[in-house]
Chains A and B, each alone.
Chain A
Amino acid sequence: MFEWIAAHPYETIALLLVPAVPLLFFQLLPLLVVLERRGAAFIQDRPGPNRAGIPIPGLGFQLRAFGLIYNLCDFIKLAVKEDFVPRFAASRFYYVVGPFIPLIAGLILPAFIPVFAPIAYASGDGVAWLAGQGIASHSGLLALFAFAGLSAYGLVLGSWAANSKYALLGGLRASAMMISYEVAIGLAAAGMFLICGTFDLARIVAWQGEHVWGIIVQPLGFLLFTAAAFAESNRTPFDVVEGESEIVAGFHTEYGAMRFMLVMSAEYFHMLVAAALISTLFLGGYHLSPIPLPLGPDGAWVALDDRWMREHIGSVTAVLLIALALLALYAARLVERRRRHYVASGASDAARRGREYRFYTGLFLALAGLAGLAAWALWGWSEAPRIIAGTAVWGWKVDLLTAIVQFHILIAKTLCLAWLFVWVRWTLPRFRYDQIMALGWKVLLNAALVNLLLTALLVKLIG
């Protein structure tokens, strides 16, 4: 087996990507929860979660990590809580299975999203390709929608099994939402299929790199898709399935402990996938620039596609690292200002907290320094490709660095969109259930159809 691995490194990587991409996305969940909590606090003029911390004995302060410790506490609390099935449950089996379905269906979704560009490698006499996604499929997006739609089964089954009237109402709403917005979300994306001539997400992203981002050619499609994605992931203003204050907690009214956590993590995971999908379809996926830039020789306009990226990978990475270093410096400045403010407030724990803030400042400064050093080392670096059977094959160093940079570009876009989700949630009121249905069927669907028609005409005319 090891011999096979040694002989087929790229095939091994392709196999490993299947679980690795979903897991890479999954480990962003705690970050997303913090983003939600601190974001809510930021919008609402309040401090937010800033109490829980882990005491660090040697250094004499409590590590609070900007609210990340709360995730740990929540996890411990929910994990050790009594795991019960209500006596009145209509079906024990479906009650138990229900919350797993959305999470498992959700976990498959990131595997369809291209996280880096396909990598060419020499295989025998010719060239083979390592796809930049877990499951490279020509019907990628359709498969993704299919799996996303499965999660509704979990909500409906779980809510029915719980045998509670409020849960049932939530389950009904979930199924109605899923049917209505599944149509709109598919039609909103159809414009991109027409323009790129494919369902394959990898090729849609590649097209955006060679031409322009999807948002430029499909602005209406982007808006419709985003709205429908909000509805699909049950976020405000479309969170009627949960509908706190109306139907208590909707479909998960009767769920507690780890089952509740499953439900919540599925919700956040769907939000993450929705954000990643919007970035992939309309915001250029792992590509850097929305339009071609005059960066070619003699100021010629070149598309910043995958090939350009590999040619200039050292400099591109250096520029991104410098941006990261500047962000880290800004964060250090914020923390330092906060430290001064806190110490000056004369709070009884000012010394302890002051040490903690100093620690963060140091961390950010070290990050900025490291990023700067790496940028200095990488500037201008690249390797020339070998040409095999008319295809450029790059060295593994270039390929690896490119893959890492492209993955992080996608994650950065995804997190920015996740912030949009948070922002909207804490700004807008909630629709009423029938208004959502009216919006879905009468507005979004029609607008998506018109958008599709116009796109089809334009594609036909321009060719």
Chain B
Amino acid sequence: MKARRPDGEVVELMTVNIGPSHPATHGTLRVFAALDGETIAAAVCEMGYLHRGFEKMVEQGTYQMVLPYTDRLNYCSAMMNNIAFCKAVETMFGVELPERCVTLRVILLELSRMIDHLVCNGANLVDLGALTNFWYFFNARERVYKVWEKLCGARLTNTVTRIGGMYRDAYPGFAEDVLDAVQVVEEATHEVLGLIEKNRIFIDRTKDIAVVSAEEAISAGWTGPCLRASGVDRDLRKDEPYYGYETYDFETVIGSAGDTYDRIMVRMYEILESAKIVRQAAMRLRPGPVNTSDPRLSLPSREQVYHDMEALINSFKLIYEGVRPPPGECYDAIEAANGELGFYIVSDGSGRPYRIKVRPPCFTQWAHYGDMLTGSMVADVAASLGSINIIAGELDR
């Protein structure tokens, strides 16, 4: 491929497809790059290889039926998607959740954030050739998955929340297991930090690679750790608190340079901050109901169904027609591991969503990725792609 430089010189470029099946593109992503030697003269990113069809599929069932689909959005932290969707629907109803449910959700959210960061950084380090860190992280992640297994029986796709509460209450000893897992994750994080934080090779590979300035990040619509790595103090948990996040004692981790190093380190230290939140939340866990008693949302107990006509009808209607939010539209978002995970729901008053639009955090990051690559080298594609944490599952909806 021939191309003309700004100074008028014509250069021969080699085009190469990095992806959709390439060891560094975790998922089916495609970067079409024009190489001048090993330097990337230009790159175009393409998505859509996963053919997910999430947003159309969910219009076919009731609101409750959406939940298992949300697991598959960001499968590294499935519970966050569950909670984000439930929270959006609950906001439409305007219901108040019991305290125990909120605290449980905070624990699940923060543990999910931790394991999501473990996967993201672990995979990123693999792309840099530091394979061992991946196993240190995955051994720790396994401990959290053991807790998931005990909690709901599933490891990857949990579907653990319900609209208006939880699938079921946590098992006895949940808090202790959670604290143990947090301990293990923290140890693994410190271990890996010890291996990489001052490692000259690692710093050379990540410092000033794929730099995104604060202005660029904001104009590209970035959120989450990637935005914070560019030095913008924006965290929904602090700025638009939900689930009582304002009452927890934790810091927002903010980078300065917006390079790959900062993005990795922001995630690393966010793991430690999340650990703080989980510890506090585990202390606050008090016995109590985990489901709202609002009859519009929660199924009546079996006792009531067998003895009370109204409860029987309600049970039928909730299951066959689904929960029916008032007509209107609603956008609600949480600070997911990767950024702002929002659900925009349009309700026509029936039990099926008229339209659900997901605002996945990695969509805006992927859209900006091609520009980030210009002028870097082939090896930097692997180094920086991991740091913006593209999850094809939520990218292609």
**A-chain residues with CB within 8 Å of residue B204 when the two chains form the complex:** 431-432, 435
- Is A166 an interface residue, CB under 8 A from the partner? yes
Contact yes or no, A246 B24, CB < 8 A: yes
Q: Which of A45, A237, A239, A427 contacts B195 (CB 8 A)?
A: A427
Contact yes or no, A428 B199, CB < 8 A: yes
Contact yes or no, A245 B129, CB < 8 A: yes
* A244-B382 Cα distance, complex, nearest whole Å: 10
A97 to chain B, nearest CB (A): 25
Q: Which of A236, A244, A245, A433 contacts B38 (CB 8 A)?
A: A433
Which of B125, B126, B205, B379 has the most chain A CB atoms inside 10 A of its CB? Answer: B379
Given contacts A44-B132, A428-B199, A432-B379, contact A245 B127 (CB under 8 A): yes
Contact yes or no, B129 A430, CB < 8 A: yes
Given contacts A45-B139, A432-B205, contact A427 B132 (CB under 8 A): yes
B42 to chain A, nearest CB (A): 16
A227 to chain B, nearest CB (A): 12
- Is B131 an interface residue, CB under 8 A from the partner? yes
Contact yes or no, B378 A169, CB < 8 A: yes
**B-chain residues with CB within 8 Å of residue A244 when the two chains form the complex:** 23, 129
A116 to chain B, nearest CB (A): 38
**B-chain residues with CB within 8 Å of residue A239 when the two chains form the complex:** 129
**A-chain residues with CB within 8 Å of residue B202 when the two chains form the complex:** 429
* A43-B14 Cα distance, complex, nearest whole Å: 39
Q: Which of A62-78 contact B (CB under 8 A)?
A: none
* A280-B381 Cα distance, complex, nearest whole Å: 40
Closest residue of chain B to A166 (Cβ to Cβ) is: B16
- Is B136 an interface residue, CB under 8 A from the partner? yes
* A235-B380 Cα distance, complex, nearest whole Å: 19
Q: How large is the interface on A (under 10, 10 to 19, 20 to 34, 35 or more residues)?
A: 20 to 34
- Is A308 an interface residue, CB under 8 A from the partner? no
Contact yes or no, B205 A429, CB < 8 A: yes
- Is B196 an interface residue, CB under 8 A from the partner? yes
Contact yes or no, B377 A428, CB < 8 A: no
- Is B128 an interface residue, CB under 8 A from the partner? yes
Closest residue of chain B to A165 (Cβ to Cβ) is: B16
- Is A240 an interface residue, CB under 8 A from the partner? yes
* A71-B51 Cα distance, complex, nearest whole Å: 40
Contact yes or no, B24 A45, CB < 8 A: no
Contact yes or no, B379 A433, CB < 8 A: yes
**A-chain residues with CB within 8 Å of residue B382 when the two chains form the complex:** 245-246
**A-chain residues with CB within 8 Å of residue B201 when the two chains form the complex:** 237, 428-431
Contact yes or no, A432 B135, CB < 8 A: no
B382 to chain A, nearest CB (A): 5
- Is B57 an interface residue, CB under 8 A from the partner? no
Q: Which of B93-133 contact A (CB under 8 A)?
A: 125-132
Contact yes or no, A245 B23, CB < 8 A: yes
Contact yes or no, A434 B129, CB < 8 A: no
* A244-B380 Cα distance, complex, nearest whole Å: 13
* A40-B136 Cα distance, complex, nearest whole Å: 12
**B-chain residues with CB within 8 Å of residue A246 when the two chains form the complex:** 24, 127, 378-379, 381-382
- Is A46 an interface residue, CB under 8 A from the partner? yes
Interface string of A433-457 (1 = CB under 8 A from B): 1110000000000000000000000
- Is A426 an interface residue, CB under 8 A from the partner? yes
Given contacts A236-B129, A430-B129, contact A45 B379 (CB under 8 A): no
* A165-B16 Cα distance, complex, nearest whole Å: 7
Closest residue of chain A to B125 (Cβ to Cβ) is: A429
A171 to chain B, nearest CB (A): 13
**A-chain residues with CB within 8 Å of residue B196 when the two chains form the complex:** 429
B396 to chain A, nearest CB (A): 22
* A401-B127 Cα distance, complex, nearest whole Å: 49
Interface string of A221-264 (1 = CB under 8 A from B): 00000000000000011011001111110000000000000000
Closest residue of chain A to B195 (Cβ to Cβ) is: A427
* A108-B154 Cα distance, complex, nearest whole Å: 56
- Is B284 an interface residue, CB under 8 A from the partner? no
Sample 11 A-B pairs with CB under 8 A, ordered by A number. A166-B16, A169-B38, A239-B129, A245-B23, A429-B125, A429-B128, A429-B129, A431-B204, A432-B377, A432-B379, A432-B380
Which 7 A-B pairs give the minimum distances between C-beta atoms? A430-B129, A44-B135, A429-B130, A429-B128, A432-B379, A245-B127, A246-B379
Seen from chain B, the residues whose Cβ lies within 8 Å of a Cβ on chain A are 14, 16, 22-24, 38, 125-132, 135-136, 139, 195-196, 199, 201-202, 204-205, 377-383
